[in-house]
Structure 1
């Protein structure tokens, strides 16, 4: 079942990516891509850049700080209404 542009694999295993796809994904000559197999399919992806990875870590850290602040507020409310927890 074909869902896109068919390409011929050259003798050395090379395949040319369609121009429309390269332009849409910002892939230029000389760029690196990641090639892997997934459930019997060949997948070609742009690798995650260091900047994208760093941004993801920053967003995760910010969300973790927000959750910690929410939990601290909830804990303070519980102490106000219920008092301190017993030392069992």
Structure 2
């Protein structure tokens, strides 16, 4: 199994750590489709989840997500908070 080390994060390049929704094209880079991608990176003993757009199995795009991608946990907590507000307001 290959592993990508970048920015203090470790990303095992396996299906358990890299998920690409290849049927969903978000944009194009150099005429290649960018797909919705989730990366489960390891930092010490923690798992940090990032998402962004990447070409199929492209390590350079994965590094860009690790640098600039949104952290999934932050988006998930915002969504849960927003859902709770909607439920209490009704």
**Common topology (TM > 0.5):** no
Instruction: Using structure 1 for the length normalisation, give the TM-score.
Output: 0.30
Greater relative contact order structure (CA < 8 Å, 6+ sep) = 2
Instruction: Using structure 2 for the length normalisation, give the TM-score.
Output: 0.30
Say which structure is richer in helix.
Answer: 1
Q: Which of 1 and 2 has greater Rg? A: 1
